[in-house]
Amino acid sequence: MPRVQMGMPVFMTAIDFHRLAGDGLPVPAASDRAPALPAPPRVVDDLVRDLSGAAEAVRAMPLRSGGADVTVAAYTAVVCNAATTADALQQAADWCRQAPRAEVHALAVARAPGHREDIWEYSVTLTVSFPDDTGGHTGQTHHGCPRR
């Protein structure tokens, strides 16, 4: 039976490496509308470690002139697992129907060993964001045609 495993809620933030001060990372402001769900300490520690490591790598990059920019960002990931690729994609589509305000920024499909040696499990990972107070989404999404 297919199952949907959602990642812990993560406050999405983008960090401009030019504005990083010291080793500390900015702390996102809590929303006034809904109380934040407490995340297990391990999840919070993992997120802080990953963001700190990514920010450290960006700080170590040589500064180059030109139009290049590097940003460190944390996104919410929704992972749908199933016995077949089609079922995993269907679970992802069903989740998107339940979250119509979600903007999907990336989708990854993977095949991984299952609970037995002869069984494979398929997963679809959606990288998503939800609109902020202005109605915009923090992440970037590819668009099929150029802006006019």
Q: What is the mean pLDDT of the chain?
A: 74
pLDDT greater than 50 at residue 30:
no
Angle CA 84–88–90, to nearest 5: 115
Q: Considering the domain boundaries, does residue 139 fall inside one?
A: no
* 26 against 46, higher pLDDT: 46
Q: Considering the domain boundaries, does residue 137 fall inside one?
A: no
Q: Considering the domain boundaries, does residue 123 fall inside one?
A: yes
* 10 against 39, higher pLDDT: 39
Q: Which residue segment(s) compose the domain that 18 sits in?
A: 3-129
Please give the sequence-ordered ranges of beta strands (E in DSSP) within 17-119, or none if there are none: 71-74, 76-82, 103-113
Long-range interactions of 128-135: CB distance < 8 A, separation 24+: 128/75, 128/76, 128/77, 128/78, 128/99, 128/102, 128/103, 128/104, 129/12, 129/75, 129/76, 129/102, 129/103, 129/105, 130/76, 130/99, 130/101, 130/102, 130/103, 131/101, 131/103
Two structure tokens written together for 101: 């305000």
Q: Considering the domain boundaries, does residue 97 fall inside one?
A: yes
32 bridge partner residues: none
Q: Considering the domain boundaries, does residue 103 fall inside one?
A: yes
If one counts the domains in the chain, the total is 1
With tokens 């010291």, the residue in question is 22
Q: How confident is the model at residue 108 (pLDDT cuts 50, 70, 90)?
A: very high
97 bridge partner residues: none
**What pLDDT does 138 receive?**
65
Q: Considering the domain boundaries, does residue 11 fall inside one?
A: yes
| DSSP reduced 3-state for 50 | helix
* 63 against 88, higher pLDDT: 88
Which of these, 124, 121, 89, 126, lies nearest to 106 by C-alpha position? 126
Q: Considering the domain boundaries, does residue 119 fall inside one?
A: yes
Q: Considering the domain boundaries, does residue 96 fall inside one?
A: yes
* 72 against 144, higher pLDDT: 72
**What pLDDT does 145 receive?**
61
77 bridge partner residues: 127
Q: What is the mean pLDDT of the segment spanning 99-115?
A: 91
Express each pLDDT in 34-58 by its tens digit. 555 666 778 788 888 988 998 898 8
pLDDT greater than 80 at residue 28:
no
Q: How confident is the model at residue 5 (pLDDT cuts 50, 70, 90)?
A: very low
pTM above 0.75, yes or no: no
